[in-house]
Structure 1
Amino acid sequence: MTSIKKRPDGVWRARYRDAAGKEHAKHFQRKVDAQRWLDEVTATIVTGTYADPRAGRRTFDAWWREWSSRQVWENTTQTAMDLTRRSVTFGDVPLKDIRPSHLEGWVKVMSSKGLAPTTVASRMNGVRAAFKAAIRDRLIVVDPSVGIALPRQRRREAAMTIPTPEQVGAILQASDPYRRPLVYLSAFAGLRLGEVTAVKADDVDFLRRRLHVARQVQRLKGGGLVERAPKYGSERDVYLPDAIVQMLAQHLEVFGTPQDGWLVMAGNSSGPLPPTTAHAWWTSTTRMAGVQDIRHHDLRHFFASGLIAAGCDVVTVQRALGHSSATVTLNTYSHLWPTAEDKTRAATAAMVSEAIPADAMRTVQA
């Protein structure tokens, strides 16, 4: 319902009620301006783009806290999103007043502090999620983060480090035998750090030569550890080669199976190996092996590259790594698959070898 009425002082008062029954009013010197305002508001209601002008008065920080309290996030995601909230430079600005320039200034500040382009992009994604939620709740109409230029990221193939077999061997040699399953199951089964520290002896099916990835271990923000489902719900079976099955069997034979069943034990205390302890072990081990630039996650790249080199298709690699979709696998490792040129050249070489005997190829005809 809308109306325009002239007040005794000559000012025109335009009014309307939104879907919730709230009345909104605005005053104009001319009736034509009042009518134009009502027409614009009516158009947004009809097209479904209406936003309550009062709702947008809350600050970005206030909205973030309200919105984030309803999200179901993993512990690591919660920590990352908290860092994002604290890093924004427009937290005290009302939602309706945030402009693209605010976002550009924030990106500039993060870049000036030396944050990696991937970190800047990740934080921008978090802020965009908050703006999209505000639009869904009709607090704002337009997402001010759309079109904001971000620092250029390195190409995946340039940024990715894939250890050589010799480097993986050096890490195994430098490792305390007690911790070697951390290398076995990362380099030859592709497990993430939180997954490999969460493996129990019963997860290994020695007869069928496969490992069931059933959980991951995460450190809580306030301290302590928690068991969760693998990342993206990627519970899966990974098929192990005979050599790794034998190594794991020998490990259990030498070191035994603790009462709580963890394959890589925490030490004197019960429970799984904390990721922080595993990270400290990795740092010291790679230093002794002379490959300190290799990260633990690079062993996962080593595993993926080996599968691809052996001719495994995208879906096979996706399932082995526990990616949420084949798209994620392709976005990460597409540069490792043979190109059309490689396949054409290999196919042609095979045809040549079948059609032309080797002796004939070596003979130069006059």
Structure 2
Amino acid sequence: MRPTFKVRFWSIQHKKSRRRPYGVRWVTEGQEHSEWFTLRVQADARRSDLMQAARRGEPFDVETGLPESEHKVRNARSLLQLVQEFVDHEWERAAPNTRRRFVDTMAVAVAAFVRPDRSAPDEHVLRRVLTTCLLPSNQRDRLLDDDQAAAARWIERASRPVAELADKLETERLLQALSRNLGGKTAASWTVRTRRGVLHHVLAHGVDAGYLVANPVTGTKFGADQGNTEVDPRVVLNPKQARQVLAAVTYARGRAHLYGFFATMYYAALRPSEVNRLREQDCKLPDSGWGELILEKSASRTNARYSDSGATWEVRNLKRRAQGAIRSVPIPPQLVAILREHIETFGTAEDGRLFRGKISGGPVNATVYTDAWDKARKIGLSPEQYASPLGMDPYDLRHAAVSTWLAAGVPAAEVAERAGHTVDVLLKVYARCLDGQRTASNSKIEDTLST
């Protein structure tokens, strides 16, 4: 806004040739402005409003001719515009899956924070338009069909000014919307926490840009304490159970090549994305004794829409590690023997990766190893254990590994270094009891109390 106090008002002008014949005219620093109305009374009211703004001492914008208060309202950033600005700001440095998280979360928020309108598009169409063309930085020029184009125009008109989130009740309503999935079903607690975190970052950007005085999410309790980040102790396999299920992997037809995949998750506490990038040159596998894995990268699957190259797999830095940072993980003789046998039996990919999909040759898809793990659980566990949460997700092998190390008395700092976490995160998330460990602990306490 280029402000001025040099404002002159002219009398109402009447032109019969115009569809709206009554004109309000005024000048800001020599620049003429006009607005036309159907009725004389409408023009008189508008002229009166402008003159009252001038009498209150409001500056006028030279370019638009509007008083400062009106200029702010008309040019207020909508939530859609703020999100687009934020996504553009973060796009280049964000990983594809991070981009997807930003877009998916804020599509929910933008679709919810709109002016009431009976002509609103179907919620599914609106959400799809937001995630496929309006929010991703690399999809804005995409051609739309008629329904999508109409939905895009509607949300651009209906998206409410982000400044309205300064009202605590409006922020709470938006957080309430983020706690629901399409169809009204309550979202998982970790989804709610993630969405709240993304919204907080977006509105922090709005504060930095001057669209908000303070971040309204800060201090808002709704959605802040839902669920917890701790691992459910019921999912943690003890060493005997882990060995049973790992052995059962080889019984699933066509899945024997995944035995080493799961064993690496258990004995080295690697994430699936880290196992998928593990190469022969990253492994020190001596003839006897302990070996070592030197981790530098991981391989994560992503939607091609969010990838600069259009590829569905992305090689990236280790989680929360800088470019070029490595993590060294000592591995016990059991895993050394398993990996040596795996290489001898199945060989490696052209780039040296130990584990690859049978058809594509790329990293192993989550659907493949999840299905194989479910079949192995059914074989390796009792019916009661299979029906329980015990080791239900392949990622639970990592939880079991970390819990085993802690139960063995390995210092928390050493466990955190091997697992790729800070000590604080380790103790908050992974320090769980092994199945059957509580009985042993109770016995120790009972012996102490008896002395």
298-307 or 176-185: which moved more?
176-185
Distance 2:231 2:358 in 1: 38
Q: Output aligned runs, 1:15-54, within 5 Å.
A: 15=58, 53=72
SS of residue paired to 1:181: helix
- 1:108 positional shift: 3.2
Contact 1:194 1:216 in 2 (8 A): yes
Q: Which residue in 1 is equivalent to 2:318?
A: 230
Q: Identify the match of residue 12 of structure 1 among 40, 55, 60.
A: 55
- 1:125 positional shift: 0.8
TM-score (norm 1): 0.74
| Residue 357 of structure 2 is aligned to residue 266 of structure 1 | yes
Q: CA, structure 1 residues 231+155, in 2 after alignment: closer, same or farther (shift >3 Å)?
A: closer
Q: Which residue in 2 is equivalent to 1:135?
A: 207
Q: Which residue in 2 is equivalent to 1:75?
A: 96
| Residue 332 of structure 2 is aligned to residue 241 of structure 1 | yes
**Letter of the aligned partner of 2:426 in structure 1?**
T
Q: CA, structure 1 residues 135+170, in 2 after alignment: closer, same or farther (shift >3 Å)?
A: same
| Residue 180 of structure 2 is aligned to residue 101 of structure 1 | no
Contact 2:239 2:404 in 1 (8 A): no
Q: CA, structure 1 residues 167+16, in 2 after alignment: closer, same or farther (shift >3 Å)?
A: farther
SS of residue paired to 2:57: strand
| Residue 400 of structure 2 is aligned to residue 333 of structure 1 | no
User: Which string of whole-angstrom CA distances, capped at 9 and with x for unpartnered residues, describes residues 136-191 of structure 1?
Assistant: 11111022223232263147254762122233123212213311111111111010
SS of residue paired to 2:171: helix
113-122 or 6-15: which moved more?
6-15
- 1:268 positional shift: 4.1
Q: Identify the match of residue 206 of structure 1 among 269, 281, 285.
A: 285
Q: CA, structure 1 residues 17+182, in 2 after alignment: closer, same or farther (shift >3 Å)?
A: farther
SS of residue paired to 1:332: helix
Contact 1:260 1:271 in 2 (8 A): no
SS of residue paired to 1:202: helix
Q: Which residue in 2 is equivalent to 1:34?
A: none
- 1:314 positional shift: 2.3
SS of residue paired to 1:232: coil
Contact 1:194 1:217 in 2 (8 A): yes
Q: Which residue in 2 is equivalent to 1:186?
A: 265
Q: Identify the match of residue 222 of structure 2 among 113, 126, 149.
A: 149
Q: Where in structure 2 are there 5+ consecutive unaligned residues? A: 10-50, 115-158, 251-255, 305-310
SS of residue paired to 1:216: strand
Q: Which residue in 2 is equivalent to 1:169?
A: 243
Q: Identify the match of residue 401 of structure 2 among 303, 316, 333.
A: 303
Distance 1:232 1:300 in 2: 17
Contact 1:2 1:14 in 2 (8 A): no
How much is the aligned-residue C-alpha RMSD, in angstroms? 3.6
Distance 2:431 2:359 in 1: 44
Contact 1:5 1:13 in 2 (8 A): no
- 1:62 positional shift: 1.5
SS of residue paired to 1:77: helix
Q: Identify the match of residue 113 of structure 1 among 171, 182, 185.
A: 185
Distance 2:279 2:60 in 1: 62
Q: Where in structure 1 are there 5+ consecutive unaligned residues? A: 28-51, 353-360, 362-366
Q: CA, structure 1 residues 62+160, in 2 after alignment: closer, same or farther (shift >3 Å)?
A: farther
Contact 1:56 1:140 in 2 (8 A): no
87-96 or 237-246: which moved more?
87-96
**Letter of the aligned partner of 1:122 in structure 2?**
T
Distance 2:354 2:282 in 1: 9
Give the aligned length.
Answer: 317
Q: CA, structure 1 residues 267+157, in 2 after alignment: closer, same or farther (shift >3 Å)?
A: closer
**Letter of the aligned partner of 2:107 in structure 1?**
R
Distance 2:411 2:238 in 1: 22
Q: CA, structure 1 residues 219+157, in 2 after alignment: closer, same or farther (shift >3 Å)?
A: closer
| Residue 382 of structure 2 is aligned to residue 285 of structure 1 | no
Distance 1:272 1:158 in 2: 29
- 1:304 positional shift: 0.8
